[in-house]
Structure 1
Amino acid sequence: MNANAMVFIHGGQHDARCWEPTIAALRHHTDIPLLAVNLPGRNGEAGDLSTLTIADCVTSMLKQISGAQLQGKLMLVGHSMAGISMPALAAALGEAAVHSMVFVSCCIPKEGSSVVESLDPPMAPIAKLAAKHLKTMPPLPSFFANWVFGNGMNRDQKQFLAAGLCREATSITRERISRANMPHCPRHWLLLTQDRAINPARQHSFIDNLGGVSSILSLDCCHDVMIAAPELLATSLIGLNTPAKDQ
């Protein structure tokens, strides 16, 4: 059974616009509904970044999914820090509504831990300092964002990446994470082998933290694969949404 729609959840310092290249590529492969949600406080979505919680993110995403009138089974696709909000969204939607979950180089803290306790350099010291001293974190400088998120991108892709960066809440990076009510469904991991933000070794530890992973697909790409290699990501998602017996 294929998913009836795909919902895309962005990571830290990003908003829904980061998925535009991949959604454009997907339009050539599928006609199912595709929705990229904005977390609160960015790209016009109401919310206070200075006090943001994961529950706030879930409420906002549920509203956007309802507004898009998505019906049937949903494939949830999360990137990076969506690893803390996507499981909570899946729990709120319920098992009957979730077809599968795709974790694209996601941050998955140990149960009861937080994002700031889970990262490696170069992101760990930045996240810890911001969480300690700031209510919201300004966008990373373009040169650093391009190095840590966009290694291997061409100039246009790097400009697109830098233009879309936004402020980030530090409150959710300190919040203790629970995945206790995450529904039982296929969980797929896209492992980005050139990732500098969440290196492959750390991704493997996050896979262990998540547990129950159905498949691991390695992609030779940087952290922001949805910008750097949209066609590769699009075809990978189509493959995950097409059971072998239907191919």
Structure 2
Amino acid sequence: MKADAIVFIHGGQHDARCWDPTLLALRELTSTPLLAVNLPGRNGEPGNLSSLTIAECVHSVLKQIREARLQGKLMLVGHSMAGISMPALAAELTEANLHSMVFISCCIPKEGYSVVESLDPPMAPIAKFAAKYLKTFPPLPKAFASWVFGNGMTRQQKQFLVTTLCRETTTITREKVSRINMPQCPRHWILLERDRAISPSRQREFINNLGGVSSIESVDGCHDIMIAEPKLLAERLTRISKT
């Protein structure tokens, strides 16, 4: 069954702009409606980063879906830290309104654990420091962001990456997550083999935390694959959307 629309949810320190290269590539392959959302407190979406909760993220995304008038079976695509909000969003949408969920190198803590308890170096010490001492965290330094998110990117792609990074909340990185009400729709994982933010071995642990997936697509790419290899990602997502 084909997806009726695709909704994209960004990760930490990103906003909807990170999906622009992939959306451009997708529009050459499909006429399916596409929506890249902004989580609260970034790129004009109302919200207080210093007190943000997962529930507020879900409420915001639901509002944006309604405003876009998307109907039918939705395919949810999440990247990185979207792994803590997308299952909660799916629970609110319910199985009847879902085509599938696609996890792109997502952070999936164990049930009842938080993001800061789930990461490896180099991101773990940064996340733990920020969660302990800061309510919000500024964008990563350009050189480090390029190294950890954009290894293998062109200079132009790295420039786009670092200019679209934004301030991030620390409250949801400390929040304990639960996927008890996550519906049993098809789940797919895009595993990034050169990811420096979430290693391939950690991604496989996160797949187990999720309870398994319907398919795993391995890609020889960096953490921000939607910027580095937009045509490749668009092809993979188009194929999933038609199953």
TM-score range normalised by the length of the shorter chain: over 0.9
Map 1:118-197 → 2, pairs under 5 A: 118-197=118-197
Residue of structure 2 equivalent to 1:230: 230
Map 1:23-172; keep pairs closer than 5 Å: 23-172=23-172
2: CA distance between counterparts of 1:63 and 1:239? Answer: 28
Secondary structure at 1:183's aligned position in 2? coil
2:204 aligns to what? 204
Name structure 2 gaps, 5 residues minimum: none
Mapped to 2, the partners of 1:69 and 1:231 lie a distance apart of 27
Give the partner amino acid of 2:89.
L
Paired with 1:5 and 1:242, the residues of 2 have a C-alpha distance of 11
Q: CA deviation at 1:135?
A: 0.2
Give, as a single letter, the amino acid of the residue that structure 1 aligns with 2:99: H
Which of structure 1's runs of 4+ aligned residues deviate more than 3 A?
A: none
Distance 1:68 1:96 in 2: 19
Q: Take 1:50 and 1:110, find their aligned partners in 2: how far apart are those partners? A: 24
Q: Could you tell me how far 1:241 is from its partner in structure 2?
A: 1.5
> 1:117-163: per-residue Cα shift (whole Å, max 9, x none)?
00000000000000000000000000000000000000000000000
Aligned-residue identity in percent = 74
CA distance in 1, matches of 2:147, 2:196: 8
Q: CA deviation at 1:174?
A: 0.2
The superposition leaves residues 1-34 of structure 1 with CA deviations (integer Å, 9 ceiling, x where unpaired) of 1100000000000000000000000000000100
Give the TM-score normalised by structure 1. Answer: 0.98
Query: 1:140 is matched by which residue type in structure 2?
Result: L
Structure 1 portions without partners, runs of 5+: none
Map Cα deviations across residues 68-87 of structure 1 (whole Å, 9 max, x no partner). 00000000000000000000
1:212 deviation in Å? 3.3
* C-alpha distance in structure 1 between counterparts of 2:54 and 2:241, whole Å: 27
TM-score (norm 2): 0.99
Per-residue deviation at 1:239?
A: 1.0
Q: Secondary structure at the match of 1:76?
A: strand
1:17 corresponds in structure 2 to 17
Helix, strand or coil: the match of 1:39? coil
Deviations 1:150-193 (A, max 9, x none): 00000000000000000000000000000010011000000000
How far apart, in 2, do the equivalents of 1:37 and 1:89 lie?
A: 12
Q: 1: CA distance between counterparts of 2:76 and 2:164?
A: 22
Task: Tell me how many residue pairs correspond in the alignment.
Answer: 243
Report the secondary structure of 2:115's partner residue.
coil
- The one-letter amino acid of 1:179's match is R
Cα separation, 2, equivalents of 1:168 and 1:87: 20
Letter in 2 for 1:223: H
Deviations 1:84-130 (A, max 9, x none): 00000000111111110000000000000000000000000000000
